[in-house]
Amino acid sequence: MATIEEALAIERLERDIFRGGATESQLTRTFGGQVAGRALVSAVRTVDPTFQVHSLHGYFLRPGNPEEPTVYLVERIREGRSFCTRRVTGVQDGQAIFTMSASFHRGDEGPEHQDVMPQVEAPDGLPDASVTMSPERLWAMREWEHWDIRTVPQEQLVQRDGAVSQQQVWFRYRHPLPDDALFHVCTLAYMSDMTLLGSSKVIHPDEPTQDASLDHAMWFLRPFRADEWLLYDQSSPSAGFGRALTGGKIWDRAGNLVAAVVQEGLIRTPRQQ
């Protein structure tokens, strides 16, 4: 399957127009993380390198076709001294399949604090997902074969009071990545869509559902590397009416809070044919 370099690759067609080609995939629709990651790469290409991504807010509008290229149209919404903003629309066959706003910041001085990383089993003692995944889900490990993904067993989770549906996942890219910090940010944007919606199904393991990401917001808080272990601490505070709200905090192994994610997804009962 595609490497992360291939999954995020785009070509520049015009000053603010980019195109991402088809990549090898087993999916019937384009992985949402790939669309978001390529949209972010497109935005990055239009911003002065002194700025760093600090947030993105995206909406998945239509399923993408993984066998067709996607064009990314970038709008330069704001050019400021400390902040700049880009809006990106992903288009296939003349229709928008994704839209995203991304904000960039040069960085300033200010107070600092962060939550404490939750107590969690270290990744070294957990089996690779290819060992724990059910046979009918092993295709997912072939799709993301370049990622080491290790889910903390539910019985080993430290349950938070009042949290109804929790999940913790360690992950890292298996191969060394370039030292470019922005590439790691775009890589994490790609991977942040993976497993998060699953946190809403932890307490509904036997209920069949149709699932899809609807919207996705992300904040990048501290430097990190995507080829080193990151903990995705996930929860779903609410589900209903065919939708689920999910959120996650992403920590490096040293206990630094590096990113936060909120997503709403579709988890509806399959419709009768």
Instruction: Report d(CA 211, CA 270) in Å as an integer.
Output: 9
- Based on the residue annotation, tell me whether 34 is a catalytic residue of this protein: no
Instruction: Report d(CA 7, CA 21) in Å as an integer.
Output: 9
- Based on the residue annotation, tell me whether 263 is a catalytic residue of this protein: yes
The counts of H helices and E strands in the chain are 5, 12
Nearest alpha carbon to residue 31 among 63, 79, 9: 63
Instruction: Report d(CA 249, CA 257) in Å as an integer.
Output: 7
The pair phi, psi for residue 259, each rounded to 5°, is -160, 160
The two beta strands, 17-20 and 166-173, are unpaired
21, 33, 213 from 219: Cα distances, Å: 27, 15, 17
- How many C-beta atoms surround the C-beta of residue 216 within 10 A? 26
Structure tokens at 172: 């890292």
- Residue positions counted in the chain: 273
Annotated active-site residue in 42, 165, 200, 263: 263
Annotated active-site residue in 168, 213, 234, 236: 213
Annotated active-site residue in 103, 165, 166, 193: 193
Handedness of CA 230, 107, 185, 191 (dihedral sign): positive
Name the residues annotated as catalytic. 193, 213, 263
